Structure 1
Amino acid sequence: MQNSDIDAGLTPPPVMPKVERQRLHDTVVEHIRRFIVEGVLEPGKKLNERELCETLGISRTPLREALKVLAAEGLIEIEPNRGASVSKMSEAEMRETFELMSGLEAFSGELAAERITAAELTEIKALHYAMLACRTQNDLAGYYSRNQAIHDKINEAARNSALRQAYIAVNRRLQALRFRSNFQIPKWDSAIHDHDEMLKALEARDGKRLSAILRQHLLDKRDAVLQIQSREDAAAAKLKA
């Protein structure tokens, strides 16, 4: 009897509902994050919960949980009694955040050149060639996902957990802007050239060279984004005039 009672007390509760809920939560967060990155949800846009629920096929509870996560990442702003809207960075914030990211990327490259394994380098090469294939097909979304995977793999290869945490936090705020930086074909092709040079430096284990390329790569993206923003602001001003 005692053994039976002990066995009954040690029987773990079912865990599947919790696993499924977490999976749904992560999926909703990822979908909305992608909508923001790819410009489906534009900066400053007020979010319609009903429309998002219908689009994603979910109830409001997982949606609101996801919005809280995205608010913590700085992608969403939630105001009491006014709902949620997509965050919009000021010009000064864009400049400063890209400058910070350029330093994080540069340091990642310097460390990765010293610490990357042959298997990791092979994986980055495969992503690079897949990225080039997307460019020939004018598949910006496919190109961007592989582009970001390359940057992410370089950061992982740096093997510095503090750097990794800072990189993830800052990069989430910039992903939508990094995506927009390739809207102009010359800028897109320039980014491709940078990635060719990154791969060469990585293969040569030339940390200083890779660091310099990554830093300038991010600053060029900053300039492209600010140029696009300036044109859009000018066009908006004309419409109001």
Structure 2
Amino acid sequence: MATLASAQDSSPDLVVKAISRGIENGRYAPGQRLVEADLTRELGVSRGPVREALKRLAGEGVVSITRHRGAWVRTRSRREVDDTFRVLEVLTGLAARLAAENIDAAEPHRGWLTSAASALERFRDHEESRPLFQARRHFWDVILRIGGNGEVARLMPQIQITLLRVQFQTFVTPRQFDRQFREYQEIADAVAAGDPARAEKATRLHLRRRRESMASLPDEAFGWAENAAP
């Protein structure tokens, strides 16, 4: 991992971003220990920014910290996964509705949407991977950007979404994978058509199905509610 070269770059904010990127690209897996000494060496910073970053991530529910065992990436419990998907269903549905309402407010909007949907479609026949994670996140970022509501974007728990994708990527069946891509296209079509009700309905159905598929997974897919240290 590249070091954070300047004094400005070594701020806790950028250490948080570096750890978040590490989770997204699979360097740090759910349940993995985050050792301060390793992080300071890898990022080229002192322990102060690393400790502050870990505290912030703990506050966001991304890592857990205990006095004697240090920090580790949290594995979401069954209840936490269900709660997160219920929140995402509402927020993402609203984001899609706003995007459909705002699709013609600026000339670039349709181009952004078409490009994001096309980029995502290229991964239809591929397994879960970092490039797919990025294409999927870009698709939703475009939906948020077109919608133009900064508060919805601020409330969207992006790092929690990343954790869910990483934790459950091996449990997605080919049939579920194919259905997800059909649902993405339905969402994109509804937004492009400027149909807010249809866009929200399609998006909420997509998230509800994801939540239901998570609920059917075996217990070993989840962490303990108290997230006991490994």
Q: Is TM (by shorter chain) over 0.5? A: yes
Residue 145 (structure 2) aligned to one of 136, 146, 156: 156
Q: What's the counterpart of residue 52 of structure 1?
A: 39
Tell me the distance in 2 between the aligned counterparts of 1:55 and 1:224.
Answer: 37
Tell me the amino acid that sits aligned with residue 124 of structure 1.
L
SS in 2 for 1:20: coil
Residue 87 (structure 2) aligned to one of 81, 94, 100: 100
Tell me the amino acid that sits aligned with residue 98 of structure 2.
L
Residue 43 (str. 1) matches residue 30 (str. 2): yes
Q: In structure 2, do the counterparts of structure 1 residues 77 and 36 end up closer, same or farther at CA, with 3 Å as the change threshold?
A: same
Q: Give aligned pairs, total.
A: 213
Q: What's the counterpart of residue 214 of structure 1?
A: 203
Q: In structure 2, do the counterparts of structure 1 residues 75 and 231 end up closer, same or farther at CA, with 3 Å as the change threshold?
A: closer
| Conserved 8 A contact 2:32-2:72 | yes
SS in 2 for 1:190: helix
Q: CA deviation at 1:174?
A: 2.8
SS in 1 for 2:34: coil
Q: In structure 2, do the counterparts of structure 1 residues 37 and 230 end up closer, same or farther at CA, with 3 Å as the change threshold?
A: farther
- The farther-off stretch of 25-34 and 103-112 is 25-34
Q: What's the counterpart of residue 238 of structure 1?
A: none
RMSD over aligned Cα atoms: 2.6
SS in 2 for 1:21: coil
The within-5 A match list for 1:63-102 is 63-102=50-89
Q: What's the counterpart of residue 204 of structure 1?
A: 193
- The farther-off stretch of 89-98 and 182-191 is 182-191
Tell me the amino acid that sits aligned with residue 225 of structure 1.
M
| Conserved 8 A contact 2:119-2:135 | yes
Tell me the distance in 1 between the aligned counterparts of 2:211 and 2:54.
Answer: 27
Tell me the amino acid that sits aligned with residue 127 of structure 1.
A
Q: CA deviation at 1:98?
A: 0.6
Q: What's the counterpart of residue 187 of structure 1?
A: 176
Q: What's the counterpart of residue 28 of structure 1?
A: 15
| Conserved 8 A contact 2:116-2:142 | no
SS in 2 for 1:78: strand
Taking structure 2 as the reference length, the TM-score comes to 0.79
Tell me the amino acid that sits aligned with residue 209 of structure 1.
R
Residue 111 (str. 1) matches residue 94 (str. 2): no
Identity of aligned residues (%): 28
Q: CA deviation at 1:141?
A: 1.0
Mind listing any 5+ residue stretches in structure 1 that lack a counterpart? Answer: 1-18, 234-241
Tell me the amino acid that sits aligned with residue 57 of structure 2.
L
| Conserved 8 A contact 1:181-1:224 | no
